[in-house]
């Protein structure tokens, strides 16, 4: 129990922290804060007034608002027009009352209006913008954090990749996830809301890499994953004492509340069923975000298999995309997960390493459980490059054999390659594309090596004076932001674009298809590679017309073109994915079917 208010106390002004805000319109919280201002009156022994605009009823603070139902719950008060920087009659000041624990009752229900934003990278406004890439996945990280809020809190998620962010609203808290490429946009949004007196929280990969930079635009920053720090902050915030920085140290996914998928606008995404059942990765490649982000705690951990299966079961439709860095990273977990998924009739895609693909057993189990396409980090065909970048798990592995194993199990390959490592000369683009086509790789993802701040690679490049820009907008793996060893920056960028063009020519798509031993594999190769890249204008058209969900059955039918799917339980996505965010199983539980 919190101590009872000491009615004889008055309010020492020196304890006030003042930020600009708006008064009695807007959120529930704001209205409640008005009620708290009445508590202030009571505690200063002033008589509360009903619906007052009078300036004098709280001598220390100025005007206040509504009176009924006041309870001394928080240390935050909304007051009107008492301070010189108030902009208009309707403006007010939020006054945080610190160091007065007798007012706060920690844990009592202070309803908060929270706005979560995933800002887009700058190119979203460019005519060259490719909507399909950014309409794939919803903001899963934010939906995960939303799960920690109270059901009575008012929360929205806005994803700027697929919708316009509203700027005229007045939440109590703004939560922004910051990637390197969206950092400048994120900071502009943060500054906008801070000017409006909103408490701004910034977190995510870029904030963790460069906390000092982010702190200039935030009231609170979060370093590392948010599952421990975010609930700690919420408790502090509700008690009126939010700290400026929270650093993650407790790494567990146990007791994770359900991801708030109800906040995701499913119809705006091609793959609304993205899911992560682990965090991090057991490896340490020197160009990867992973070590910096997970510093100070475990760098790889999983949910329980039961929790993962329960989350899968809650997802409507048939198609899933695991966004885990390495779905095979913990062999025991993966084995139990795939065994549990067998018979669920799912079709899914994921990412893993060459090393684990070559390990007997896992690929077979995954394929039986519905794996149909795997993103594999080959990165480079050069051993010297692998050694230099600490990609030890790829050393001495037979890449061609890994691809064969996947194809033999009916799994398509999305091969990831990085250009610009020190051993890469001008011929690297053609050699890599030719190799991938000859192996029958269905899709390829190319990147220009990018030294993200916080990584070992970044430190090395910086120490060697090889970084050519710190404009984070360009750190998008499509620009040369460092001086390559055996290429010029423009050779690197041109070669990167040429590799994409070449890989996806019809000639190479057909050549790649012919590498498959069976007709089904060939047809699927053409349909997937051709449908994905060559029909991009059509995808973009559908997205702009807000019909991306209508394309999902096409994706599922290509993924299910494998001998493994004969006789599998099949619900077509259009029939089973009812856009409500509730799986058929949930309907049954609710007695709706």
Q: Which stretch binds ligand SF4 (CB under 6 A): 9-17, 281-289, 533-541, 564-572?
A: 281-289
Quote the CA–CA distance of 379 and 206 in Å, as a whole number. Answer: 23
Can residue 283 be called a binding residue for ligand B12 (CB under 6 A)? Answer: no
The total number of residues written for the chain in this structure: 593
Query: What is the footprint of ligand SF4 within residues 302-331 (CB under 6 A)?
Result: 325-326
Query: What is the footprint of ligand B12 within residues 102-131 (CB under 6 A)?
Result: 118, 120-121
Quote the CA–CA distance of 79 and 65 in Å, as a whole number. Answer: 8
Using CB under 6 A as the binding criterion, the count of chain residues that bind ligand B12 stands at: 39
Cα 118 vs. chain centroid, distance in angstroms? 7
- For residue 41 the two structure tokens come to 């009156």
Q: Which stretch binds ligand B12 (CB under 6 A): 104-112, 219-227, 416-424, 485-493?
A: 219-227
Select the residue interacting with ligand B12 from 71, 133, 298, 520 (CB under 6 A). 133
322 bridge partner residues: 275
Q: Which stretch binds ligand SF4 (CB under 6 A): 14-22, 206-214, 277-285, 584-592?
A: 277-285
Select the residue interacting with ligand SF4 from 43, 214, 281, 406 (CB under 6 A). 281
Helical packing angle, 428-438 and 506-513, nearest 10° = 40
Quote the CA–CA distance of 122 and 15 in Å, as a whole number. Answer: 41
CA distances from 27 to 21, 34, 69, 73, 90 (A): 12, 11, 17, 17, 15
**Considering the complex, what minimum distance in angstroms separates the CB of residue 374 from ligand B12?**
14
Quote the CA–CA distance of 349 and 528 in Å, as a whole number. Answer: 13
Can residue 284 be called a binding residue for ligand SF4 (CB under 6 A)? Answer: yes
Q: Which residue from 411, 327, 329, 421 is spatially nearest to 379, judged by alpha carbons?
A: 421
Phi, psi of 31 (to 5 degrees): -65, -40
Residue 324's contacts (CB-CB under 8 Å, 6 or more residues apart) are: 276, 277, 278, 350, 351
Can residue 180 be called a binding residue for ligand B12 (CB under 6 A)? Answer: yes
The enclosing H or E element of 506 equals: helix 506-513
Q: Give the SS3 label for residue 372.
A: strand
**Considering the complex, what minimum distance in angstroms separates the CB of residue 309 from ligand B12?**
18
Can residue 526 be called a binding residue for ligand B12 (CB under 6 A)? Answer: no
Query: What is the footprint of ligand B12 within residues 327-386 (CB under 6 A)?
Result: none
Quote the CA–CA distance of 239 and 443 in Å, as a whole number. Answer: 51
Can residue 366 be called a binding residue for ligand SF4 (CB under 6 A)? Answer: no
Site string for ligand B12, 286-305 (x = CB under 6 A): --xx----------------
What, of ligand B12, ligand SF4, none, does residue 206 touch, CB below 5 to 8 Å by kind?
ligand B12
Can residue 206 be called a binding residue for ligand B12 (CB under 6 A)? Answer: yes
Query: What is the footprint of ligand B12 within residues 467-486 (CB under 6 A)?
Result: 476-478
Cα Rg of the chain, angstroms: 27
Can residue 238 be called a binding residue for ligand SF4 (CB under 6 A)? Answer: no
CB 139 within 8 A of CB 159: yes
Sites of contact with ligand SF4 (CB under 6 A): 281, 283-285, 288, 290, 325-326, 353, 377
Residues binding ligand B12 (CB under 6 A): 118, 120-121, 133-134, 136-141, 144-145, 175, 177, 179-182, 201, 203-206, 222, 225-227, 229-230, 276, 288-289, 323, 325, 452, 476-478
């Amino acid at each position: 129990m919190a101590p009872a208010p000491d009615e004889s106390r008055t309010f020492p002004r020196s304890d006030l922290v003042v930020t600009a805000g708006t008064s009695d319109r807007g959120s529930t919280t704001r209205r409640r804060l008005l009620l708290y201002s009445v508590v202030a009156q009571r505690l200063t022994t002033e008589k509360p007034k009903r619906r007052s605009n009078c300036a004098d009823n709280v001598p220390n603070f100025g005007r206040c608002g509504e009176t009924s139902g006041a309870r001394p719950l928080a240390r935050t008060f909304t007051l009107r027009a008492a301070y010189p920087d108030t902009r208009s009659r309707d403006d007010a000041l939020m006054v945080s009352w610190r160091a007065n624990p007798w007012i706060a009752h920690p844990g009592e229900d202070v309803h908060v209006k929270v706005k979560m934003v995933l800002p887009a990278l700058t190119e979203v406004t460019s005519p060259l913008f490719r909507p399909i890439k950014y309409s794939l996945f919803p903001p899963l990280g934010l939906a995960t954090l939303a799960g920690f809020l109270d059901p009575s809190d008012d929360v929205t998620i806005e994803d700027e990749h697929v919708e316009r962010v509203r700027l005229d609203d007045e939440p109590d808290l703004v939560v922004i996830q910051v990637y390197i490429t969206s950092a400048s946009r994120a900071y502009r949004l943060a500054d906008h809301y801070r000017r409006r007196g909103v408490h701004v929280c910034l977190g995510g990969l870029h904030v963790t890499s460069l906390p000092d930079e982010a702190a200039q635009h935030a009231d609170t920053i979060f370093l590392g994953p948010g599952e421990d720090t975010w609930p700690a902050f919420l408790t502090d915030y509700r008690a009126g004492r939010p700290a400026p920085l929270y650093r993650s140290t407790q790494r567990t996914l146990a007791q994770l509340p359900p991801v708030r998928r109800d906040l995701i606008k499913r119809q705006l995404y091609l793959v609304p069923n993205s899911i992560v059942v682990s965090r991090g990765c057991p490896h340490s490649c020197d160009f990867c975000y992973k070590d910096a982000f997970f510093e100070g705690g475990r760098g790889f951990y999983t949910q329980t298999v039961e929790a993962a299966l329960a989350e899968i079961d809650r997802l409507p439709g048939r198609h899933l995309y695991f966004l885990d860095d390495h779905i095979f990273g913990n062999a025991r977990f993966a084995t139990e997960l795939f065994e549990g998924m067998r018979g669920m009739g799912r079709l899914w895609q994921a990412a893993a390493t060459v090393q684990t693909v070559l390990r007997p057993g896992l690929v077979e189990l995954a394929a039986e459980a519905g794996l149909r396409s795997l993103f594999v980090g080959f990165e480079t065909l050069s051993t010297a490059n692998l050694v230099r970048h600490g990609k030890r798990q790829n050393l001495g592995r037979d890449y061609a054999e890994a691809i064969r194993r996947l194809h033999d199990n009916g799994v398509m390959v999305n091969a990831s390659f990085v250009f610009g490592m020190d051993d890469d000369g001008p011929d690297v683009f053609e050699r890599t594309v030719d190799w991938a086509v000859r192996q029958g790789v269905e899709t390829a993802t190319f990147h220009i090596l990018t030294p993200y701040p916080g990584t070992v690679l970044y430190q090395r490049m910086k120490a060697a004076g090889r970084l050519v820009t710190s404009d984070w907008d360009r750190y998008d793996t499509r620009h040369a932001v460092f001086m390559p060893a055996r290429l010029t920056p423009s050779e690197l960028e041109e070669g990167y674009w040429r590799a994409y063009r070449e890989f996806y020519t019809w000639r190479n798509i057909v050549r790649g298809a012919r590498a498959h031993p069976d007709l089904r594999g060939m047809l699927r190769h053409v349909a997937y590679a051709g449908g994905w890249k060559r029909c991009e204008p059509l995808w973009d058209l559908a997205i702009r017309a807000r019909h991306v969900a209508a394309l999902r059955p096409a994706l599922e039918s290509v993924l299910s073109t494998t001998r493994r799917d004969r006789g599998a339980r099949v619900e077509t996505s259009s029939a089973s994915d009812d856009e409500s965010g509730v799986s058929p199983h949930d309907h049954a539980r609710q007695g709706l079917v």
